[in-house]
């Protein structure tokens, strides 16, 4: 039985839809943005943003939408001219038949981030509907937690800002997810991707994973 559908967009953006038709959009960013994405994005019932970086926060789109936006105090302070509803770790938000739990995330740090790019408040989301769950990690390094989910939507970028394929393979097992949906592989100028390494690491740990094209939908069941 299909419980939710996930449609992948550039970098870390996903549109989740429940069986009843509730839709939430997570991290609509600016990387590789195309106007045609708005056909899907504008149908969301709510938008959730994990942190302030532009590959997760498309200021032009979010500054002109009437859809309710949820994010952290840091994001609100960074985009003070946009109405953003406050959330923090431990909160649970209900949108239609979806429950969105706000969980901890730890963004990696590089010295060049000292000029304003350092993320001090970052969150992930565990979305539940009809007994099925998906954990959206955000750009996080590997850390110890007790989060559990049926599906994992996580980066494999490495380069000091998020988990690499090696860490993500272990993290997927820790979460107990039966499928990893890979994200955060689109900024190839800064972070060249190595799909052979990704495949080798996942096979080593026996992790089933999928790489989705822009606009491609997968059934979560």
Instruction: Tell me the per-residue pLDDT of 111-131, one tens digit each, with 9 for 90 and over.
Output: 999 989 999 999 999 999 999
At 110 the pLDDT is 92
| pLDDT at residue number 192 | 82
Phi/psi for 70 (5° steps) reads: -120, 135
Global model pTM greater than 0.85: yes
Q: What is the pLDDT of residues 126-181, one digit of tens each?
A: 999 999 999 999 999 999 999 999 999 999 999 999 999 999 999 999 999 999 99
Copy the structure tokens of residue 200: 């080798």
Q: Are 140 and 174 in contact (CB under 8 A)?
A: no
């Amino acid at each position: 039985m299909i419980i939710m559908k996930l449609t992948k967009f550039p970098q870390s953006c996903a549109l989740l839809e429940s069986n009843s038709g509730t839709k939430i959009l997570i991290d609509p960013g600016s990387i590789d943005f195309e106007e045609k994405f708005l056909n899907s994005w504008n149908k969301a019932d709510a938008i959730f943003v994990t942190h302030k970086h532009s590959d997760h926060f498309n200021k032009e789109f979010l500054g002109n939408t009437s859809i309710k936006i949820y994010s952290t105090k840091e994001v609100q302070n960074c985009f003070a001219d946009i109405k953003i509803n406050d959330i923090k770790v431990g909160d649970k938000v209900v949108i239609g038949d979806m429950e969105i739990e706000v969980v901890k995330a730890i963004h990696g740090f590089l010295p060049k981030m000292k000029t304003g790019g350092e993320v001090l408040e970052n969150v992930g989301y565990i979305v539940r509907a009809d007994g099925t769950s998906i954990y959206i990690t955000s750009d996080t390094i590997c850390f110890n937690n007790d989060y559990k989910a049926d599906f994992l939507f996580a980066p494999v970028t490495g380069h000091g800002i998020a988990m690499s394929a090696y860490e993500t393979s272990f993290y997927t097992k820790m979460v107990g997810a039966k499928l990893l949906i890979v994200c955060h592989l689109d900024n190839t100028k800064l972070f060249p991707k190595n799909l052979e390494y990704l495949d080798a690491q996942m096979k080593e740990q026996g992790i089933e994973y999928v790489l989705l094209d822009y606009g491609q939908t997968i059934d979560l069941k």
